[in-house]
Amino acid sequence: MNAVELIRKKRDGGTLTDDEVRWFVDAYTRGVVADEQASALLMAVFFRGMAPPELATWTAAMIASGERLDLAPVGRPTVDKHSTGGVGDKISLPLVPLVAACGAAVPQLSGRGLGHTGGTLDKLEAIAGVRVALSNDEVVEQLRSIGCVICAAGPDLAPADRKLYALRDVTATVESIPLIASSIMSKKIAEGTESLVLDVKSGAGAFMRDPADARRLAETMVEIGNGNGVRTVALLTTMDVPLGRTAGNGLEIAETLDVLGGGGPADVVEVTLALAREMLALAGVDGADPAAALADGSARARWDDLVRAQGGDPTAPLPEAPERHDVLAPRSGWLTRLDALGVGVAAWRLGAGRARKEDPVSPTAGVVWHATVGDRVEEGQPLLTLHADDPSRFAAGLDALDGAFEIGDVEPEPVVRVLDRIA
């Protein structure tokens, strides 16, 4: 086959055959197709989209480009969760041990943050000693013994996606629903889970700002998952207001411990429990009460098991930022707006995030907001606190927060976090 012919066909609105799709994904993974040719095809897909059969074959080819984990030795039903990302979205951290404490096994293969969205692996590594690079055998053994793992995907899991994602990142072709869906689902299917719950977010701080786009993405991923034998549902959730009260790696671990201790912000608990119930239902675990598992300490005990299994000490104190700066409420009233994107960019600029995948991140930097939308605030009270290792970063963080919040005289409507369910 010829890459130029495939590019021309897709550019002109044609549908690639199964053989053409399989050839292209395999040839690019092996280095037969050049980056500039793959870039051209990705741009054609960006503008022309993919027909459902075309997308199904594309995803299957990405899965087939590497190995597929065998989780049969785990000995209990497996279910995973994936979020499309947001600000303060630490949900995976309390959710994974919670679902494991209720009787399912959770093979959570996670990623790192980029830009204003945080990464689960960066957060977990704020705990000294924790390893996130595990072998396949270690993953299976940890799932068998304690029922949960949070780690990076191995290099042999959907390697086509790793190459294609890196190319999309530098060619402005990330924001394509077929390419997003196939990227996410190829990794999740290859990891071998039997069931999957998706948390697809929309709003100012989300990857998909438009709720209609988020719905289309959710529907596409659910169709791909079920078509590949993975029981899949999606929840549509909002990300106009950041989740919880913290954005930043170590800060979000501290908030996770609050949730696992039976407390924590109400919205974090709400989304965690909603996803946990969906995961347990898909896994066929009947009679488990995730709210009770938070209250009685069993979820926290399973978290401690996970941290120890991956080389960390769950009793060790978390690192704290040496520099802090308070943003005071300029007037009294109701907090009517707190922009998730502004908060996320501020945390990023303070050192919690990265502009490139190879950049280091600070375990202590980030933002704490002492009130969220719907709370009453008083003039002069600390509204947000910026955490940084270097005080020179505060100016850029404050600039990101300029215009990011509003205080009014009328109490706003409550923030609705879970909008819909797609199955």
DSSP state of 234: E
pLDDT in tens, 305-332: 999 999 999 999 999 999 999 999 999 9
pLDDT in tens, 236-253: 999 999 999 999 999 999
pLDDT for 251: 98
pLDDT for 359: 82
pLDDT in tens, 363-406: 999 999 999 999 999 999 999 999 999 999 999 999 999 999 99
| CATH architecture group of domain 72-155+165-309 | 3-Layer(aba) Sandwich (3.40)
Residues with Cβ within 8 Å of residue 32, at least 6 apart in sequence: none
Helices (H), 333-409: 340-347, 394-401
pLDDT in tens, 401-421: 999 999 999 999 999 999 999
Cβ atoms of 59 and 224 closer than 8 Å: yes
Domain 323-408 has CATH 3.65.10.10: no
User: Of the residues 80, 89, 122, 161, which is catalytic?
Assistant: 161
Give CA–CA dist 264/179, Å, rounded: 36
pLDDT for 166: 87
Q: Would you call 187 a catalytic residue per the annotation?
A: yes
User: Of the residues 81, 90, 162, 187, which is catalytic?
Assistant: 187
User: Of the residues 10, 22, 82, 201, which is catalytic?
Assistant: 82
Residues with Cβ within 8 Å of residue 307, at least 6 apart in sequence: 127, 130, 313, 314
355 pLDDT higher than 80: no
Matching fold, domains 72-155+165-309 and 323-408:
no
Polymer length of the chain: 423
User: Of the residues 10, 116, 168, 387, which is catalytic?
Assistant: 168
Question: Across all residues in the chain, what is the average pLDDT?
Answer: 96
pLDDT for 196: 98
CATH class of the domain defined by 3-49: mainly alpha
User: Of the residues 110, 183, 202, 362, which is catalytic?
Assistant: 183
Helix (H) or strand (E) holding 124: helix 120-124
> Among 15, 148, 1, 162, which residue's Cα sits nearest to residue 71?
148
194 pLDDT higher than 80: yes
Give CA–CA dist 169/367, Å, rounded: 27
pLDDT for 302: 98
Cβ atoms of 405 and 337 closer than 8 Å: yes
> Among 298, 161, 207, 125, which residue's Cα sits nearest to residue 198?
207
By mean pLDDT, which of 111-115, 249-253, 288-292, 418-422 is the weakest?
A: 111-115
pLDDT-based confidence at 357, cuts 50/70/90? confident
63 pLDDT higher than 90: yes
Q: Where are the domains of the chain?
A: 3-49, 72-155+165-309, 323-408
Q: Would you call 161 a catalytic residue per the annotation?
A: yes
Q: Would you call 168 a catalytic residue per the annotation?
A: yes
